[in-house]
Amino acid sequence: MQAKVTAPVFEHHREPLGIGESRPRLSWRTETDTPGWRQAAYQIELVDDTGAVLGGTDGRVESDASVLVPWPGPELASRTRVGARVRVWDTGNRASPWSPVAYAETGLLDPADWTARPIAPRPDPGTGPARPRPVVLLRRSFRLHGPIASARLHITALGVFQPELNGRPVGADVLAPGWSSYHHRLRYSTHDVTEHLRQGENVLGALLGEGWYSGRLGFHGGRRDIYGDRPALLAQLEVRYADGTTRTVATDTRWQAATGPALRSELYDGEEYDARLERPGWSAPGDPGPGWTPVVELGMPRGALVAPTGPPVRRTRTLAPVRILTTPAGHTVLDFGQNLVGRLRIRVRGEAGRTITLRHAEVLEHGELALRPLRQAAATDRYTLSGAPGGETYEPLFTFHGFRYAQVDGWPGEPAPGDVEAVVLHTAMERTGWFTCSEPLVNRLHANVVWGMRGNFLDVPTDCPQRDERLGWTGDIAVFAPTAAFLFDCSGMLGSWLRDLAAEQLTRPDGAIPPLVVPDALPEGFPAAPNAVWADSAVLVPWALYRAFGDEGLLRTQWESMSGWADELERYVARDGGLWRGEFQLGDWLDPAAPPDRPGDARTDGDLVANAYAARTAEIMAEVAALLGEPGHAERYTRLAGRVRAAFADEFVTPGGLLASDAQTAYALALRFALLPTGRQRERAGRRLVEIVRRAGFRIATGFAGTPLICDALTEAGAPQMAYRMLLETGCPSWLYPVTMGATTVWERWDAMLPDGTVNPGEMTSFNHYALGAVADWLHRAVAGLGEAAPGWKRLRIAPVPGGTLTHAHAARLTPYGRAEAGWERHGGTLTVTAVVPPNTTAEVQLPDTTTLFEVGSGHHTFTVHGFTTPAWPPQPLRHPFSSPEENAPAPEDGGDGGDRR
């Protein structure tokens, strides 16, 4: 068919309204079934709303570039709407039709564009810093005269908000504007509210809660008012009349405030809502009733007002309970069959004054909610009925919970099907990666990784979503970023988070060490010493995003942060003979041998881990510097990597290839990061790793630092069957042990639940942590054989490594160029490998049991290997999935790994 070009995408925006880039880069895909299709040239036209051409490229541009192509027009001013369309030519000089036009509109790009000022209710003397504050209702009445051409609402808060206009909610964002490093950056959103407005009286309103700004954050009781002592709203409604004149309604002292039915709405502890206190019509024209008071105007936020680079948090689906249980204590508990992040929505009818209590937990223990892992997070919502004759519907405003089970107390009678559903919340990223194979346990493991990422990518990449923590720990995302960037388009979200990381890092007294959590909400006095892996996130995460999305601009943006940390590493290395040592390291955190009360006690020495990652960070920095045209820095970082490698070999490696820490993680690091100088050492280290794995009964013995690397290390050591044997092991600790115990997300500890169904006695026993799910990266690249050979998937690598008891495996990735696929199927001695290569890309192919590489162009490809055999497989059978304990087993219908459903 004739090549068709998709509507271009502006930067990484799926909804390009109110963007913050004045020269947004453009990307497009070409759809064609012509094998080997390559783009030879492109042309971009910029148009206005009428289709009139405003500019674009100077005719045809000879280039195969189609991802993040430079802006072909003048710099855009604030409030500018522009369209773009593209056509391309192939190598045979055949032109495509013009693509559909895609439109984008800039937001408020200059601080002077803001005439609004933050407003807050007058301080309530009865609400001190030790108490949660009620959700505030804010409103402003105004009048409009004349036909309205367009209207935009630019809005944000120090806190969280939900806007309403003339009695209707504005937009579908949840917990907006999310959590940023408020002292440095505050994101605002832009909404098209043209259809909300009317002639005459209008009312703009907003619900305002504490959120991350002044609500309780952190463990051991946490702290309130970390960023400020009260929430504030900043809103600017800009109306353009048909005659070209404008009207602005902004937050100022003309607004009014009142309290309403939400007496508190906290991230950790939940919400208390008394429907009898509702104010019907409070955001609609007319009399709002008594109790409204003037607001106070505050100074402008310290942080820069910025447009978002990624999508907002949204409701992405709802789940009905799969069963209703009565616990031994007589409580009613709903099982949703899936550990998720969100909250409940209830529909109930009952007498006024009755209070329904909703408690949340991830697992059951002895038939009751297991609440101890929540630590000091109450995770409880309370709803007091108004007694409305037609019934009432309730969903909390500004809280979220990590849960599979919900205990319902105080319900009038028994809840019927449809009365309660779980609303799933997360950043509304586009799903881009899929995997399936012939082993149901592995499919469930992969589904658990996906669900774990969903739940923990709620505006920031958190460690866990349920207990009194939910912080953006840098080590977790450092090891998980390659997996994350395959599964979802997280480029915009993580790009924003990295800007916060840089802001927090570069404004610290040392100006070089990235914090352990971003945004940095840890208490003063918390150890601030650099930790390998965690600090390396400043380099590892941008690099993973660059490899996945091809965004060189991200590396330029993060260069100061990346080089700041790399230069600090160089100082550590220089002071101690080429090694970084002698400081506290989190190291191979949560090694399964660590006691419950000492999660950092790992078998692999912390200094060994630190120097292995130092060498890897320096190596990456040399590549980044070369890409960005910094040859001097590239040479310096290359020398740094070489010094650390040499010192590592002298300190931690014997001439025979054994390591000072005789542990899985140590060998995985040395093999994967090329820290073994000689071929003899590499060969011996590979054999020793196999010996250790076999001696361990194929059980996993790695924590955060080693888990992402162990299967690749075994594969590269020539022992892929050992990697498969580890993957398919079901005893504890292993990847599949939690699956056999009913896990529907990845656990923080390998043994968060013990075989008898009791919860691990340690303080950190989250049942939704994504870090150990980093094995999915190996599933995609090695098991199915689909990986990138060049940044942004411009070149693919198809190199499946079949093994174990699997008879087929398949992976797909929606790349910047289109859908890529790879997989294989085995019938007896015949292995069939298939691949789909998107237009305008190529793939290098390495078939199993060969070292020969060959190249193919775009299109569908099939390769057959005859006489294919794998080594004898260990005969130990797999346990039946979900065998124990039954109470935490996932619902059968939710065991797959399908796409996003609503």
Where in the sequence numbering do the catalytic residues fall?
469, 748
Helix (H) or strand (E) holding 341: strand 332-348
881 CB-near residues (< 8 Å, 6+ apart): 440, 441, 444, 739, 740
* Residues facing 443 on adjacent strands: none
- Enter the tokens of residue 497: 């988070």
The SS3 of residue 775 is helix
Instruction: State the CB neighbour count (10 A cutoff) for residue 553.
Output: 15
Whole-angstrom distance, CA of residue 410 vs CA of residue 407: 10
Burial class (CB in 10 A: 0-12, 13-18, 19+), 626: middle
Q: Is 501 exposed, middle or buried (0-12, 13-18, 19+ CB in 10 A)?
A: buried
In the numeric block, which tokens belong to residue 814? 């929606």
Structure token pair of residue 9: 């995408």
CA 172 to chain centre: 19
- Measured CA to CA in angstroms, residue 418 lies from 86, 403, 421, 791 at distances of 47, 19, 7, 47
- How many other C-beta atoms are found inside a 10 Å radius of the C-beta of residue 194? 13
- Secondary structure string (H, E, C) spanning 414-431: CCCCCCEEEEEEEECCCE
User: How far apart, in whole angstroms, are the C-alpha atoms of residue 496 and residue 311?
Assistant: 10
Alpha-carbon span 350 to 390, nearest angstrom: 10
Residues 6+ apart with CB under 8 A from 335: 321, 322, 323, 324, 325, 404, 405, 891
How far apart CA 473 and CA 516 sit, in angstroms, is 6
Residues 6+ apart with CB under 8 A from 384: 273, 274, 275, 276, 353, 354, 355, 356
**Complete DSSP assignment for 514-532:** PPSBSS--PPTTS--S--T
Residue 352 burial (CB count, 10 A) = 11
Q: Strand pairing partners for 234? A: 156
Beta bridge partners, 270, equal 266
